[in-house]
Amino acid sequence: MPTFTERNEVPEQEKWNLADIYSDLNQWEEDYRKIEAMTDSLKKYDGNINDGQSLYQYLKLSEELSFLFGKLYAYAMLKVDENTRETDPQAYLERAKQLSVKISAATSFFMPFLLGLEEATLKGYIEAEKGLKYFGEDLLESFRYKAHVLSKEQEAVLSQLGEALSVPGHTFGMINNADIKFGEVTGENGEKIELTRGMYSKLIEDEDREKRKEAYKAYYKPYLQLKNTIASTLSAAIKNNVTTARLRQYPSALEKGLFGDKVPKEVYENLIRTTKENIGPMHQYTKIRKEKLGLEELHQYDLSVPLVSGVKQVISYEEAFETMRKALEPLGKEYIQILDTFKEGRYLDVRETPGKRSGAYNLGVYGVHPYILLNHQDDLDSLFTLVHECGHGVHSWLSSKHQPQITARYSIFVAEVASTVNEVLLINYLLKTEKDPDIRKHLLNHFIDQFKGTFFTQVMFAEFEKTTHELAEKGVPLNVDVFSQTYEKLFREYNGNEIVFDDEVKYGWSRIPHFYRPFYVYKYATGFASAIHLATKILEGDNKTLTAYLEFLKSGSSDYPLELLKKTGVDLSTPEPIENALERFTELVDELAQQ
């Protein structure tokens, strides 16, 4: 695997080309000045929108500003992520953030103004001004919130409380990212060293069981020490959410959380119920894991170690890209051509270099193209990451090409569908073409663990959120004991009785940042299940599903997420897509059992 000590050593073809956004910083500065002027112009509309024409002019200017700001911000962010140690890009990003605050302040009058209009008045404006037809659906969509908007005075008070209401999440972030010091583990030469998160993710997969146990105990140590403090922040976050839902007259905190995507609570409940009705194979997998590892007792620190030792495939970036092309052939020629454009046009930033942002992401820049950040390590995980991020990238590319700016961005609810369909096609291709029994077993294990993490674990988290919010709504005080009892009970229900429960297990809730962004994690599970359902149909040669799926990728946010999925044949208000996905999980577990 090539290693690079500096970014300039990386071949040009493996670095993204930011000149597609701005060829030089003068252009960035020019747009910055334009946006400042446009922001001042937008501000002048406060109190001066009184007919269809002025409303249209405001919205048109606002969209033009949004287009320029999208490019401006993306360029600065991507420059920072190339090398987080350089201070110049950080200064540009900071300026972009400050500009964002100015834009928000200048346009903050608009939503209260809009919701203050009578619906008949707004429809009259749209009728009178032809240009408003483009914005019409978006404007009327805002009226869905009207029942949940308070009086101007109350909104002003809530807005001032906004910062205070976000304190629990912010406090947890500071504890979790800045203050927590993990316990010590034994280093290579027997010396004691402080554990880091990066080390933990590697050590928890180590074949040496003592190393796993030591890392596990060290990792949980600060969470156990801070359990009362963290319980207090989580309790406050949940109570804030429940109180806000009440003030805004939502039937429950859950329904407030689902409102934006227009998802009925029955979809959320159906996900949990159908998963628990089909939980048997998950318990069976835990049992198989215990047998394959030859353990008398299975502990939580045994749940991530690969079941096949010594399988270390070296997969170069070139080979990974070629494998992806072959695996995704069922999606058709146009899809593969788009991927080739990504590579040839340098939309991807491939290599890890000192200071580069870790992890991977896709960022769609409207009017330009997607940018994909990778840190390719020439291994199986990197192959899956490439395929995953390119799924997001093609979704961004097609939606931007086929949708106007107003509906080009797809919602988080459907985002994981495109990436997971790709992963399912990849695992299917690898299992079909791989002859080595150990590698096949390793692939099965890899995909089952991904299924467990993206689906079962997220459904368990979703149920934890639902239960704790309902307790708060009933006035039950939330504390360490309530959180721990709830979490331990759910962990048992989802993972089965083969696991010996160390004290740490029940404190799992204390380390989950997503709990401060309520009713979000279920989207991973619905997206994953939808993708399994679609990929299975595509692999069966169902052309109707393939055509509908490619249309879905072009749809952006032109409809509500559930409606977009329904057009592909996935109806999440029924158990069918969840059951189909769990059937596939059963097949994978059965195949692993026979290896």
Q: Is residue 361 part of a domain?
A: no
Which domain covers residue 12, as residue numbers?
7-163
Q: Is residue 162 scored above 90 in pLDDT?
A: no
Residue 499 DSSP class: B
**Which amino acid, 368?**
V
**Which amino acid, 445?**
N
Cα torsion through 121, 127, 129, 130, rounded to 10: 150
**Mean pLDDT of all residues in 229-240:** 97
**Mean pLDDT of all residues in 105-129:** 91
Distances in whole angstroms, Cα of residue 9 to Cα of each of 21, 80, 351: 23, 18, 10
Of 546, 520, 420, 511, the C-alpha closest to 229 is 511
Q: Is 518 exposed, middle or buried (0-12, 13-18, 19+ CB in 10 A)?
A: buried
Cα 300 from Cα 220, distance rounded (Å): 12
Number of structural domains in the chain: 1
Q: Is residue 1 scored above 70 in pLDDT?
A: no
Tens of pLDDT, residues 297-314 = 999 999 999 998 877 788
The strand pair at 370-376 and 348-351 is best described as parallel
The residue among 180 and 65 whose pLDDT is bigger is 65
Q: Is residue 90 part of a domain?
A: yes
Q: Is residue 370 scored above 90 in pLDDT?
A: yes
Q: How confident is the model at residue 114 (pLDDT cuts 50, 70, 90)?
A: very high
Tens of pLDDT, residues 261-271 = 999 999 999 99
- At residue 58's C-alpha, the angle toward residues 53 and 60, to 5°, is 90
Which of 104-118, 386-400, 564-578 is least confident? 104-118
Q: Dig out the tokens for 42 from the structure.
A: 């937008």
**Which amino acid, 250?**
Y
Q: Is residue 547 part of a domain?
A: no
How much is the pLDDT for 203? 92
Cα 140 from Cα 295, distance rounded (Å): 60
Q: Is residue 286 part of a domain?
A: no
Please enumerate in sequence order all residues whose Cβ is within 8 A of that of 27, keeping only pairs 6 or more positions apart, or say none: none
Of 263, 137, 333, the C-alpha closest to 530 is 263
Considering all CA atoms of the chain, what is the largest pairwise distance in Å, rounded to the nearest integer?
Answer: 78
Cα torsion through 522, 524, 529, 532, rounded to 10: 180
Q: Which of 14, 129, 389, 416 is catalytic?
A: 389
Q: Is residue 133 part of a domain?
A: yes
Q: Is residue 197 part of a domain?
A: no
CB 168 within 8 A of CB 234: yes
Which of 20-24, 141-145, 153-157, 489-493 is least confident? 153-157
Q: Is residue 584 part of a domain?
A: no
Q: Dig out the tokens for 83 from the structure.
A: 């090398």
Q: Is residue 201 scored above 90 in pLDDT?
A: no
**Which amino acid, 263?**
V
Q: Which residues of 458-468 are buried (b: 16+ CB within 10 A; e: fewer)?
A: bbbbbbbbbbb
How much is the pLDDT for 150? 80
How much is the pLDDT for 486? 98
CB 529 within 8 A of CB 422: no
Cα 527 from Cα 347, distance rounded (Å): 25
Tens of pLDDT, residues 430-456 = 999 998 889 999 999 999 999 999 999
SS (H, E, C) 373-433: EEEECCCHHHHHHHHHHHHHHHHHHHHHHHCCHHHCCCCHHHHHHHHHHHHHHHHHHHHHH
Q: Which residues of 540-571 are buried (b: 16+ CB within 10 A; e: fewer)?
A: eeeeebbebbbebbebbbbbbbbebbeebbbe
Tens of pLDDT, residues 303-355 = 999 998 877 788 999 999 999 999 999 999 999 999 999 999 999 999 998 88
**Mean pLDDT of all residues in 161-172:** 85
**Which amino acid, 452?**
K
Instruction: Give the position of tokens 């993204």.
Output: 16
How much is the pLDDT for 153? 78
Q: How confident is the model at residue 4 (pLDDT cuts 50, 70, 90)?
A: confident
Query: Tell me, what CATH number does 118's domain have?
Result: 1.20.140.70
Q: Dig out the tokens for 92 from the structure.
A: 């540009």
Q: How confident is the model at residue 20 (pLDDT cuts 50, 70, 90)?
A: very high
Q: Is residue 497 scored above 70 in pLDDT?
A: yes
Q: Say how many C-beta atoms besides its own lie within 10 A of residue 25's C-beta.
A: 13
Q: Is residue 256 part of a domain?
A: no
Q: What percent of the chain has pLDDT over 70?
A: 99
Of 451, 448, 455, the C-alpha closest to 275 is 455
Is 389 catalytic? The answer is: yes
Backbone φ and ψ of 334, nearest 5°: -60, -40
